[in-house]
């Protein structure tokens, strides 16, 4: 009797262990939802809808994009973190919710490391340091000399607290040892307008947004915050070439799922993303927007998030950045 009972328990355990692989053969059997923390039309939304459309056409799977805005992405991230880990709820995460906010928001309702599993790094985009044409500085070296000659006299525009604009400028201040005054705006558009108008002379703008203003002569580029020069601005040096190799700042966008999501579902999503965004025409399309598509494995994304979290944590601590009241 005891042996029969033990055999039954072993058989039950094996059946439970084999349950997901059996289901995995049918995955996805239900619609997949991608939760986007921004409004329609932005980079996060475009990446998600591109993935959804291409995957539906290629596999027949139903993929739905939902925009859940609010609280700098916290609402969307928390929603996914607390969702059932079955592979049917995906979060389009970015540096703010996954690497920056944990250092400045003590009451964050989720833990980016504990509550999420990485899927794939979709896109990265550097910032470019620009100045108004009235500024005499034509290089990073000259800008630093001007700023050191008049500490606090020059200001920089940022698109909001914790954005790439903001953190790249604070990183540069630390690396160069200069005193610049931050002017915070509600979004990139008003920040760009005031820089173009000459009200604020300095900005770290997203490369894709800055290209047209640079080509029209509305602003002057000094350096980009990437490891390599951009094909969009081949004559503009990197911050490393300008003497500040530690100033690496990029916006990035990636797929995450709730922790404990079965690996077969993660692998399916990763494989589809790599296939969709490896298309040369697709890569050229996003490159024209200042974005590179790294892709790769879930482990590659996990390492990227860890490095970004450490990098921004150091900047936030050294610059003594805190949430505005």
Q: What is the pLDDT of residues 100-147, one digit of tens each?
A: 999 999 899 999 999 999 999 999 999 999 999 999 999 999 999 999
Secondary structure (3-state) at 256: strand
Same fold across 31-124+250-319 and 126-224: yes
| pLDDT for residue 160 | 86
DSSP codes of every residue in 122-163: EEEEEEEEEE-TTS---SHHHHHHHHHHSTT--EEEESSTTS
With 80 as the cut, is the pLDDT of residue 2 above it? Answer: no
Q: How large a percentage of the chain has pLDDT more than 90? A: 86
Query: What's the pTM?
Result: 0.90
pLDDT band at 322 (very low <50, low <70, confident <90, very high): confident
Taking only Cα atoms into account, the Rg of the chain, rounded to an integer number of angstroms, comes to: 23
In this predicted model, what pLDDT tens digit does every residue of 17-61 receive, in sequence order?
Answer: 444 554 556 899 999 999 999 999 999 999 999 999 999 999 999
Please tell me the predicted confidence (pLDDT) of residue 162: 85
pLDDT at 302: 98
Residue 14's pLDDT is what?
42
Is the per-residue pLDDT at 255 higher than 50?
yes
CATH number belonging to domain 126-224: 3.40.190.10
Contact criterion met (CB below 8 Å) for 242 and 128: no
Given a cut of 90, whether residue 197 has pLDDT beyond it is: yes
- Every domain of the chain and the residues it spans: 31-124+250-319, 126-224
User: What pLDDT does residue 16 have?
Assistant: 41
**How confident is residue 226, by pLDDT bands cut at 50, 70 and 90?**
very high
Q: Which residue has the tokens 């640079």?
A: 214
Answer whether residue 250 shows pLDDT above 60. yes
Buried b (16+ CB within 10 A) or exposed e, 110-123: bebeebbbbbbbbb
Report the top-level CATH class of 31-124+250-319: alpha beta
Instruction: State the chain's mean pLDDT as an integer.
Output: 92
Q: Rounded to 10 degrees, what is the CA torsion of 176, 308, 159, 122?
A: 130
Helix (H), strand (E), coil (C) string for 152-179: CCCEEEECCCCCHHHHHHHHHHHHHCCC
What pLDDT is attached to residue 240? 97
Q: Note the residue count of the chain.
A: 325
């Amino acid at each position: 009797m005891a042996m029969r009972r033990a055999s039954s328990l072993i058989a039950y355990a094996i059946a439970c262990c084999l349950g997901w692989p059996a289901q995995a053969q049918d995955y996805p059997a239900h619609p997949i939802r991608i939760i986007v923390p921004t409004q329609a039309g932005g980079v996060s939304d475009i990446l998600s809808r591109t993935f959804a459309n291409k995957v539906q056409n290629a596999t027949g799977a139903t993929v739905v994009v939902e925009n859940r805005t609010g609280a700098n992405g916290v609402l969307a991230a928390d929603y996914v973190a607390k969702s059932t880990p079955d592979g049917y709820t995906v979060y389009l995460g970015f540096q703010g919710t996954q690497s920056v906010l944990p250092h400045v928001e003590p009451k964050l309702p989720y833990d980016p490391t504990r509550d999420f599993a990485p899927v794939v790094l979709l896109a990265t985009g550097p910032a470019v340091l620009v100045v108004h044409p009235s500024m005499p500085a034509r290089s990073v070296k000259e800008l630093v000399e001007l700023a050191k000659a008049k500490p606090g006299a020059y200001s920089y525009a940022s698109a909001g607290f914790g954005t790439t604009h903001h953190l790249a400028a604070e990183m540069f201040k630390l690396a160069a040892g200069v005193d610049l005054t931050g002017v915070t705006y509600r979004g990139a558009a008003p920040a760009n307008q005031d820089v173009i108008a000459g009200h604020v002379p300095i900005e770290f703008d997203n490369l894709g947004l800055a290209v047209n203003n640079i080509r029209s002569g509305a602003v002057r580029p000094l350096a980009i915050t990437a490891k390599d020069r951009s094909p969009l601005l081949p004559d503009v040096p990197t911050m490393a070439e300008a003497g500040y190799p530690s100033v690496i700042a990029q916006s990035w966008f990636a797929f995450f799922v709730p922790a404990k999501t079965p690996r077969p579902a993660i692998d399916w999503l990763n494989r589809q993303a790599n296939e969709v965004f490896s298309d040369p025409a697709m890569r050229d399309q996003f490159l024209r927007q200042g974005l590179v598509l790294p892709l790769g494995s879930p482990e590659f994304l996990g390492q990227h998030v860890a490095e970004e979290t450490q990098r921004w944590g150091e900047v936030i601590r050294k610059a003594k950045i805190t949430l505005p009241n």
